[in-house]
Amino acid sequence: MRSVSRWSVLGAALVLTSCGGGGGGGGSTAPTTPTPPTAPTAAYVLPAAQALTAAEVQQVLAQGVAEARARNLPAVIAVTDRVGNILAVYAMAGARASATLRAGPTGTNMDAQGVVVPAAGAAIAKAITGAYLSSGGNAFSTRTASQIVQEHFPPSPSTVGLESGPLFGVQFSSLPCSDVTTRVATSPIGPRRSPLGLSADAGGFPLYKAGVLVGGVGVMADGDYGFDKNILDVEDDAEEAIAYAAATGFDAAIDIRAERVTVDGTSLRFSDASAGTLKTTPSSAPTLASLPAGAGTFTAVTGYYAGGGALAGQVYGTEASGLRLATTAEFSIPSAMILSNGAGQGRFPIRAGTDSADGLTALSQAEVRAVLEEAFTIMSRARAQIRRPLDSRAQVSITVVDSRGQILGIVRSPDAPVFGIDVSAQKARSATLFSATFAAAELGADPSADVRSFVQKTRDFFADPQALTGKTAFGARTLGNLARPYYPDGEVGRPNGPLSRPISQWSPLSTGLQSALIIGNIGQHLAFVTGASATDTPAVCTSLPQVVPGQNRLQNGLQIFPGGVPIYRGGRVVGGIGVSGDGIDQDDMVSFLGAHNGGARVGGIGNAATGIRADTLIVGPSAPARLRYVGCPFAPFLDTNDQNACQGK
């Protein structure tokens, strides 16, 4: 790839007032009952009914093929609908059959670094990323993903020393082993899994129809599946140009593209390609049917797409899509969305905890419902971070789990990005596991010596041989502190956090414990996709001990960016809440206040006592720094002028 011009990060004009840190600090362990404003009736509306037709899928492919031919770079092009159904995988004649995941920075490969994968799988991951990270209020691409998952934000040689990206770690979500996502062979509904999780390699865009998000397109052609280390230049990236051409006519509105969204005063990035950099006029592209024989073929991908031609997408928000509005019996607040099985039944109905046999009082159904309702109410009052227009309501997915990691309920707003469904469950499970008495024992029982080593690394870091035995409450933000390749975050020359790889081994494809836990699942799945094995990875990420047959506490993997806290009863962890889909401070606030207000409403449960929260600790062998528990935004609400909403709770 070659640089053709310089690009400066500009964004002061769009700083959202909901940015900024906030307290999640001290307070009473027995808070008084709050009386927040009631959530508005029907705060959200379902996006208009739109879907890609088979003819439109062929149009997307034809436009991409024309640009690829003009660049003399045969490509594999994948198209997906909003919930991840693969509508086409088209391989041009001469296209590379495989791609290599970017090697480690020093040539020593760890985890997914240097792995050879099917090009079709990489194209699918890019298409899913474009669809899953976007919504009616924000359009993000795989280039956007690259910007927000690296060790410095924004990534460039001149920003060394800044903190890591806000969605650091999101790439290891919607994994092929997840129990939250679905599979073609077993279920007709979404959200679907991705063969490689989410992608940070340029060449994936969302697709819109009449202003409604309907899917994504992804392109793999150059054989290098990586990420952009320098956002300050503009790349002439052929894969991105092909995908941009393919998406023409299904473009995101200019006002919701990533460059109109800021994080901490920095504009995000949508595309280095533009209409002016294309070598073709997409609207004049020859149809697929008019191409000469042998120009390309629809290619089957085991576990994802049967081949044979272009398919129509599902209308998002319908029973057939797997995501629909909840009935009043399923969730009391209007305009909530749930995951459905395609036959009218919720996949994750609100229920009581499953862990009473473990010597604790399990969460009751009423308690779970209270936490979900209070979190949904906070979301509906909150000002969004990543949505346009300004002062839109936040839209997220919310998951509650018990101490075994079993999902006790998932609810979401109708236009929340789909990626947040899987991630909210990851955050809830991660905060719960690491805060509980059994964290060290279960991580130490993993069959991988690499995974087991992170227990001792953490104990050395804390200078505490009893670390990870329930002494400290860890939020998802805390786990992020500990999982950065520099500690404190971004400060070059410092050693890595105990859950991270050293910087010499680190990349977005090898983050540390997070990637080590699931690399076996990825390998097993890729062997299935390529036909090397008849056995797919089970819907059980990680090899942690099973708490019941076929289920462990990190069933869909570890997550290491903010938006989840454990839930306590009488000093014991009984579950957790995870939130994902908006700014990380908004995610933190919704989870923290959801647990607080839900507990105050029903009594007996709530957030960790202030004295055991991670933000009471100043740790680090070379440069001690205070850990974080949650970080809530200032002036976060649309209906009040309240400041520091999390302070004192």
User: What number is the average pLDDT over the span 259-277?
Assistant: 94
The contacts of residue 12 (CB under 8 Å, 6+ apart) are 265
Q: What is the pTM of this model?
A: 0.94
Query: In the 8-state DSSP scheme, what is residue 48?
Result: P
> Peptide bond before 485: cis, by omega within 30 degrees of 0?
no
3-class secondary structure, 131: helix
pLDDT band at 34 (very low <50, low <70, confident <90, very high): very low
Chain centre to alpha carbon of residue 114: 23
User: What number is the average pLDDT over the span 16-35?
Assistant: 36
Question: What does the mean pLDDT of the chain come to?
Answer: 93
User: What number is the average pLDDT over the span 42-56?
Assistant: 96
pLDDT at 436: 98
3-class secondary structure, 565: strand
The fourth-level CATH superfamily of domain 348-626 is Haem-degrading domain (3.30.450.150)
pLDDT band at 38 (very low <50, low <70, confident <90, very high): low
pLDDT at 107: 85
pLDDT surpasses 60 at 163: yes
Query: Hey, what are 514's tokens?
Result: 């997070």
Q: Are strands 233-235 and 98-101 parallel, antiparallel or unpaired?
A: unpaired
The model's pLDDT over 436-462, given as tens digits with 9 standing for 90+, comes to: 999 999 999 999 999 999 999 999 999
pLDDT at 1: 35
pLDDT surpasses 90 at 595: yes
Q: How far is CA 407 from CA 288, 410, 554, 638, in A?
A: 45, 8, 11, 30
pLDDT at 428: 99
In contact, 646 and 589? CB cutoff 8 Å: yes
pLDDT surpasses 60 at 186: yes
- Which regions of 523-585 does DSSP assign to beta strands (E)? 564-569, 572-580
- Give the C-alpha separation, 347 to 314, whole Å: 18
Length of the chain: 649
In contact, 182 and 189? CB cutoff 8 Å: yes
Determine the CATH number of domain 66-104+114-316: 3.30.450.150
The pair phi, psi for residue 410, each rounded to 5°, is: -130, 125
- Identity of the residue numbered 535: T
- Identity of the residue numbered 639: D
- Give the C-alpha separation, 224 to 100, whole Å: 5
- Give the C-alpha separation, 209 to 532, whole Å: 39
DSSP codes joined into one string, 43-94 = ---PPP-----HHHHHHHHHHHHHHHHHTT---EEEEEETT--EEEEEEETT
Q: Are strands 397-402 and 625-626 parallel, antiparallel or unpaired?
A: unpaired
The contacts of residue 564 (CB under 8 Å, 6+ apart) are 424, 427, 428, 430, 431, 475, 476, 576, 577, 578, 579, 587, 591
The contacts of residue 603 (CB under 8 Å, 6+ apart) are none
> Peptide bond before 488: cis, by omega within 30 degrees of 0?
yes
The pair phi, psi for residue 648, each rounded to 5°, is: 80, 10
Angle 408-410-414 (CA atoms, 0-180°, nearest 5)? 165
Task: Categorise residue 483: left if φ over 0, alpha if ψ from -120 to 50, beta otherwise.
Answer: alpha
CATH 3.30.450.150 in the chain is located at 66-104+114-316, 348-626
User: What number is the average pLDDT over the span 336-357?
Assistant: 97
